[in-house]
A and B are shown apart, each in its own frame.
Chain A
């Protein structure tokens, strides 16, 4: 074993130490020391991750395992805290620490004016630690530790501005909705222990092959339960409703947690446990369908949003839908590739949005923006790059990954062309809403006066991410191809028309966007809240996320709260209270007989005697 590989444990340890320092100092440090600890710990982790990765690639081993300690051992159930570093983990760790570092750096500027500077970086560092444990854990229980840890940090950071109750509500919604998914997932873990006797990922994959025939129902059930956890965390149907509200958090949080890393945890989970899904064609198909439905629905919703961050939120749901879709059609590498490029361009988009929002004094409504490209050239340029990648225009990183997904989907058994068709429609819509966003924010008449307040610490991450969003895909799918086996997918030659169509459809969307939004420069047109769909009711329906929220509200939340209000006094207690009341009543009745009046006593004695005699005679 070469020494540097053992540095792996320090990659998650550094952010944890950063977190502890920030907690123990209780916010007494100045801004600079906080930034040094907060950013430095993640930067250090990124550097170490780079060293370890280089060494790992050089060493040409498939996997590096580092055992830390035995968590517990009870009756043959003995999860170990062990780090597992392979190609997939390398990609994930790279994204988490690399993009994480850039976002931390950006946040030193973005959060400079806010209260709770130290608390912010403490939460962020804790998040990075938990996310690293999630992707490095060799055991599903360790993964679950990270899984819940990132959920907690997401909750804390969504509700970071805690004096506004709306933020607190959004935070709790995010936690509770994902908890529902997590509970499904934990039952998947219980089943795995019962069936395979272990939660060790490699053991699980190995014995799944050995013990289950393809398509066994227990396997399908486990896969679906795990999928439940994945859809919660990754905001896929039907648990997607929390993510748009999660935009209540500061924008760097949205970039890191709700775009680049945490929300892709579900993708990671399925990719990591790919064999479980390969063994169950039914569950595998469900993954594809969930992804497909989500990517389409969310794309339409993104088109109707008026809040810049909510556009990006729905866009994130939609893009993760593409990843699920890719996993579902067996394009494992393409899914991870899209995860990587999406991390670049979506983090970039969020950070640009943050710069714009900050410059406009926390104005988030795109209808009150416009004409900013001259005043905010760097965010404009970077956002243009990000939007192009999001729309999958040729030569951008997003093009390579999405192109791969769409082409592979065409090959999926029997329904492939349908899959391809629906996903392409969404790709068209993606081009449309990306263009709409750019035009509304940066072109047309200016409605709010911007004050560019970004220093180098905010500009540098934008530029680096822009380079990555543009060029991150050039090294091609081959770089991540070795990460996962592409099971069940034939990499046949695709017809030329298919490749052309897949390339041109997003471009068509962009062009239509230019026509719809680009030529509406007159005051009245922009004021009339341009909608691609004329009917305001349809737009409202889409903007509200297809009514999922109101449905859940009416079906679940309201009855739950109403019943809770009714039960507050504890119905069980009324039984005991009633018993006590009866006792008290009896006491009262018998007490009245103790009146102290002699004639009462004489009368009752007489009656008693008469009854007794009567009974004696009759019986």
Chain B
């Protein structure tokens, strides 16, 4: 599989979608869907035929040889999982915004596909400079998605999103360049190649500061407390497809950065920073959960719950053992599905009721039982019911972290109670209770929404009951990851 062609296909698809609007207003969404289906099938075919889960695909081209920069794209099991999640949720995003977007449809699909292309690039780039390029590629179209098609406070939210991520991006760029320079200073060879830099010894305390630069950049994206405050605004204001991509995929790039770069590039510094990082993770779990409960806006509640769930990932990565890291990877995937679905439900509610405020909902089950049952499923997934993917992730993270630091795990464990409180309160305030005025006529999910929801439910059940293929795919990476640790 040629990864460059794969990414270019997504980019080209975006361009075609933008132009196609001129022919027919609705052509863009079909182009988008088509491109995503083709790439998904391509990925599936590759995954089926691969025997080596360490190097599923590899594409390498010279780019700026003078500075040791090349187009180096690689896909191992971990990347494969995340790219698959990306494409799947891309399809979800297109389908969920099928009727929501009525203005500048072509440009919308363009931004969607370019964001996805950027994300796929982030998950496969093994040249740090190229990684940074993709990091920025996914940011700008996302900004437009929020700023153009967002809700009432979109300008503020988009600006906040952009500034936070851009500050992270700046730190990232500085750290990358400094790392390459440090390597050059010690070895005389300039390179941005991941495999070269992974084995490059960097002296303390420089290594610590570089690690911190990477760490902050990725924790902003994750997001972890205290760098999380862009997320509730961005999520709440973004159109449904934007929220789906933001929560389902973009947050995972932060987690991916931690797991792929921060720890393997700077093992010693990361070990030094292990406890504070785990502390941030545990705090994020509880703080995010508590603030989720305090929200009255459906989308804001789900946004804060994301912070809580991604806290588990941070905790798991820095717990740094087989069990916890596998749990973190599982949590990334499961959270992608469960949160994307909840955002899609939020979008569907907003489209039908023209509000996200839960005080104006209530008793929706009577009008839309199918929607209620589906919401219940994802709410329950979100609170970590065994049998669904989120449980496997959270359980393994906590189990692994417990071997490292009991008290931080106890703090994060409070998140389990917190999750029950906010998740069930979401269910209560929106779908149960006395029907609010004017909700009786709300239409239920139709076939389009039902089928996409069913896919996500199958995915979560699959991850919950037969999680082993995921662990097998990630095994080569995880073994190396843990092998370089304590």
For B294, the chain A residues whose CB sits under 8 A away are 564-565, 567-568
For B386, the chain A residues whose CB sits under 8 A away are 141, 144-145, 148-149
Contact pick for B432, options A70, A74, A75, A165, CB 8 Å = A165
Give complex CA distance A316, B451 in Å: 44
Taking the complex as formed, is B255 at the interface, i.e. its CB lies under 8 A from any CB of chain A?
Answer: no
Give complex CA distance A336, B433 in Å: 39
Known interface pairs A152-B380, A183-B416, A186-B416; A570-B229 also in contact (CB < 8 Å): yes
Give complex CA distance A572, B287 in Å: 10
Give complex CA distance A185, B399 in Å: 13
Please encode chain B, from 365 to 376, with 1 for each CB lying within 8 Å of some chain A CB and 0 for all others. 110011001001
Known interface pairs A73-B471, A74-B322, A149-B385; A180-B424 also in contact (CB < 8 Å): no
Taking the complex as formed, is A106 at the interface, i.e. its CB lies under 8 A from any CB of chain B?
Answer: no
Taking the complex as formed, is B126 at the interface, i.e. its CB lies under 8 A from any CB of chain A?
Answer: no
Most buried by A among B321, B410, B433: B433
For A149, the chain B residues whose CB sits under 8 A away are 385-387
- Residue on A with the closest CB to B413? A183
Verify A180–B417 contact, CB threshold 8 A.
Answer: yes
Please encode chain B, from 175 to 201, with 1 for each CB lying within 8 Å of some chain A CB and 0 for all others. 000000000000000000000000000
For A156, the chain B residues whose CB sits under 8 A away are 376
Taking the complex as formed, is A576 at the interface, i.e. its CB lies under 8 A from any CB of chain B?
Answer: yes
Known interface pairs A187-B410, A568-B295; A168-B432 also in contact (CB < 8 Å): yes
Known interface pairs A162-B433, A165-B434, A564-B290; A190-B323 also in contact (CB < 8 Å): no
For A194, the chain B residues whose CB sits under 8 A away are 402-403
For A152, the chain B residues whose CB sits under 8 A away are 380, 385
Number of A-B contacts (CB under 8 A): 126
Contact pick for B321, options A70, A72, A75, A565, CB 8 Å = A75
Give complex CA distance A73, B469 in Å: 10
Give complex CA distance A155, B403 in Å: 32
Most buried by A among B376, B396, B420: B420
For B434, the chain A residues whose CB sits under 8 A away are 163-165
- Residue on B with the closest CB to A116? B369
Known interface pairs A152-B380, A165-B432, A564-B290; A176-B410 also in contact (CB < 8 Å): no
Verify A163–B433 contact, CB threshold 8 A.
Answer: yes
A58 to chain B, nearest CB (A): 33
Verify B363–A163 contact, CB threshold 8 A.
Answer: yes
Verify B295–A572 contact, CB threshold 8 A.
Answer: no
Contact pick for B420, options A163, A179, A186, CB 8 Å = A179
Give complex CA distance A141, B396 in Å: 11
For A182, the chain B residues whose CB sits under 8 A away are 416
For A119, the chain B residues whose CB sits under 8 A away are 369
Please encode chain B, from 205 to 233, with 1 for each CB lying within 8 Å of some chain A CB and 0 for all others. 00000000000000000000110110010
Contact pick for A165, options B296, B403, B424, B433, CB 8 Å = B433
Contact pick for A572, options B228, B387, B402, B468, CB 8 Å = B228
Taking the complex as formed, is A575 at the interface, i.e. its CB lies under 8 A from any CB of chain B?
Answer: yes
For B278, the chain A residues whose CB sits under 8 A away are none
Taking the complex as formed, is A193 at the interface, i.e. its CB lies under 8 A from any CB of chain B?
Answer: yes
Give complex CA distance A193, B395 in Å: 12
Task: Give chain A interface residues in 404-442, CB to chain B under 8 Å.
Answer: none
- Residue on A with the closest CB to B414? A183
Taking the complex as formed, is B476 at the interface, i.e. its CB lies under 8 A from any CB of chain A?
Answer: no
Verify A573–B229 contact, CB threshold 8 A.
Answer: yes
A141 to chain B, nearest CB (A): 8
Taking the complex as formed, is B318 at the interface, i.e. its CB lies under 8 A from any CB of chain A?
Answer: no
Give complex CA distance A615, B366 in Å: 78
Give complex CA distance A77, B369 in Å: 40
B477 to chain A, nearest CB (A): 14
For B225, the chain A residues whose CB sits under 8 A away are 572
Task: Give chain B interface residues in 264-297, CB to chain A under 8 Å.
Answer: 287, 290-291, 293-296
Verify B385–A148 contact, CB threshold 8 A.
Answer: yes
Task: Give chain B interface residues in 371-421, CB to chain A under 8 Å.
Answer: 373, 376, 380, 385-387, 391-392, 395-396, 398-399, 402-403, 409-410, 413-414, 416-417, 420-421
Give complex CA distance A322, B314 in Å: 45
Known interface pairs A77-B323, A190-B402; A159-B291 also in contact (CB < 8 Å): no
Overall SS of chain A's interface: helix
- Residue on B with the closest CB to A171? B424
Taking the complex as formed, is B435 at the interface, i.e. its CB lies under 8 A from any CB of chain A?
Answer: yes
- Residue on B with the closest CB to A161? B432
Taking the complex as formed, is B68 at the interface, i.e. its CB lies under 8 A from any CB of chain A?
Answer: no
- Residue on B with the closest CB to A69? B466
For A165, the chain B residues whose CB sits under 8 A away are 428, 432-434
Task: Give chain B interface residues in 293-317, CB to chain A under 8 Å.
Answer: 293-296
Taking the complex as formed, is B97 at the interface, i.e. its CB lies under 8 A from any CB of chain A?
Answer: no
For A71, the chain B residues whose CB sits under 8 A away are 465, 467-468
Taking the complex as formed, is A175 at the interface, i.e. its CB lies under 8 A from any CB of chain B?
Answer: yes
Give complex CA distance A27, B414 in Å: 37
For B409, the chain A residues whose CB sits under 8 A away are 187, 190
Verify A572–B229 contact, CB threshold 8 A.
Answer: yes
Give complex CA distance A155, B431 in Å: 15
For B396, the chain A residues whose CB sits under 8 A away are 74
Taking the complex as formed, is B326 at the interface, i.e. its CB lies under 8 A from any CB of chain A?
Answer: yes
For B471, the chain A residues whose CB sits under 8 A away are 72-74
Known interface pairs A190-B399, A190-B402, A564-B294; A162-B365 also in contact (CB < 8 Å): yes
Verify A190–B228 contact, CB threshold 8 A.
Answer: no
Give complex CA distance A191, B229 in Å: 35
Verify B323–A74 contact, CB threshold 8 A.
Answer: yes
Taking the complex as formed, is A26 at the interface, i.e. its CB lies under 8 A from any CB of chain B?
Answer: yes
Taking the complex as formed, is A172 at the interface, i.e. its CB lies under 8 A from any CB of chain B?
Answer: yes
Give complex CA distance A575, B224 in Å: 15
A71 to chain B, nearest CB (A): 8
For B421, the chain A residues whose CB sits under 8 A away are 172, 176
For B228, the chain A residues whose CB sits under 8 A away are 572
Known interface pairs A179-B416, A179-B417; A186-B432 also in contact (CB < 8 Å): no
Known interface pairs A74-B322, A148-B385, A165-B432; A187-B413 also in contact (CB < 8 Å): yes
Give complex CA distance A514, B294 in Å: 53
Taking the complex as formed, is B425 at the interface, i.e. its CB lies under 8 A from any CB of chain A?
Answer: yes
Please encode chain B, from 84 to 114, with 1 for each CB lying within 8 Å of some chain A CB and 0 for all others. 0000000000000000000000000000000
Taking the complex as formed, is A23 at the interface, i.e. its CB lies under 8 A from any CB of chain B?
Answer: yes
Give complex CA distance A171, B391 in Å: 21
Verify B428–A172 contact, CB threshold 8 A.
Answer: yes
Verify B417–A176 contact, CB threshold 8 A.
Answer: yes
Give complex CA distance A41, B290 in Å: 41
Task: Give chain A interface residues in 106-127, CB to chain B under 8 Å.
Answer: 119
Give complex CA distance A34, B177 in Å: 66
Verify A163–B432 contact, CB threshold 8 A.
Answer: yes
Known interface pairs A568-B295, A572-B229; A75-B413 also in contact (CB < 8 Å): no
Please encode chain B, from 456 to 472, with 1 for each CB lying within 8 Å of some chain A CB and 0 for all others. 00000000011110010
- Residue on A with the closest CB to B424? A172
For A27, the chain B residues whose CB sits under 8 A away are 369
Verify B425–A163 contact, CB threshold 8 A.
Answer: no
For A568, the chain B residues whose CB sits under 8 A away are 291, 294-296
Give complex CA distance A145, B228 in Å: 32
20 additional contacts (CB under 8 A) given A27-B369, A193-B402: A71-B467, A72-B471, A75-B326, A148-B391, A152-B380, A159-B432, A162-B433, A163-B366, A164-B433, A171-B424, A172-B421, A176-B417, A176-B420, A182-B416, A189-B399, A190-B399, A193-B399, A564-B293, A567-B290, A572-B225
> Could you give 22 example pairs across A and B, Cβ below 8 Å?
A23-B373, A70-B468, A72-B471, A74-B322, A75-B323, A141-B395, A156-B376, A164-B433, A168-B433, A175-B420, A179-B417, A180-B417, A182-B416, A183-B416, A187-B413, A190-B402, A193-B402, A564-B294, A567-B290, A570-B232, A572-B225, A572-B228
Give A residues with C-beta under 8 Å from B. 23, 26-27, 69-75, 77, 119, 141, 144-145, 148-149, 152, 155-156, 159, 162-165, 168-169, 171-172, 175-176, 179-180, 182-183, 186-187, 189-191, 193-194, 564-565, 567-568, 570, 572-573, 575-576
Closest 7 CB pairs of A and B: A75-B322, A564-B294, A573-B229, A145-B386, A162-B432, A190-B402, A568-B294
